[in-house]
Amino acid sequence: MSYSIGDGLVTLALAGGIVGYYYVIHRTRQKRMEIIHQERLAAMDKGIPLPELPLEPSEERRAPDPRVLPILGTVLLTLAAGAMIALNLSLPGTSHSFWVAPLPIAFLGAGLIAVHFLKVEPRG
């Protein structure tokens, strides 16, 4: 394989973007810590007690959405069925048997829908 200069520039731009993103995240955290430190020093000077704050805000875990599986299953099933119909109608005679290629995606979609309906909900 031969790579061009453009390929190298794209790779460098992507790496630079990733490094820049992490730099911005680091600077944001550092600036937030400086502001918290200044607020705490001002409160200590005035004699106001402050509660301890966590350094990193805790991310709340949400319960998984029960609608994701049937929606994803429906999308995959209809996408695969449409692709099979389009391939069946458009392929020439020599490669006509290729219309079954999207069948694994259709089975995956049908399986996701089946899992949604067969899943036992815990009684609480």
pLDDT for 123 equals 65
The domain boundary residue, chosen from 60, 87, 110: 60
**Helices 103-118 and 68-90, axial angle in degrees (round to 10):** 150
Per-residue model confidence as pLDDT tens digits over 47-77: 888 767 666 666 788 888 888 999 999 999 9
Q: Where are the alpha helices (DSSP H) in 1-124?
A: 5-46, 68-90, 103-118
Same domain flag for 34 and 5: yes
Same domain flag for 15 and 55: yes
Contacts 24+ apart (CB under 8 A), 116-120: 116/66, 116/69, 116/70, 116/73, 117/70
Question: What's the structural domain count of the chain?
Answer: 2
Place of tokens 């458009």: 90
Cα torsion through 21, 65, 113, 76, rounded to 10: -30
Same domain flag for 15 and 48: yes
Specify if 124 maps to a domain: no
Same domain flag for 23 and 50: yes
Specify if 89 maps to a domain: yes
Say what the pTM is. Answer: 0.53
Residue whose C-alpha is closest to residue 107's, from 77, 75, 64, 71: 77
Same domain flag for 46 and 11: yes
For the chain, residues with pLDDT lower than 50 are none
Q: Which domain holds residue 79?
A: 68-118
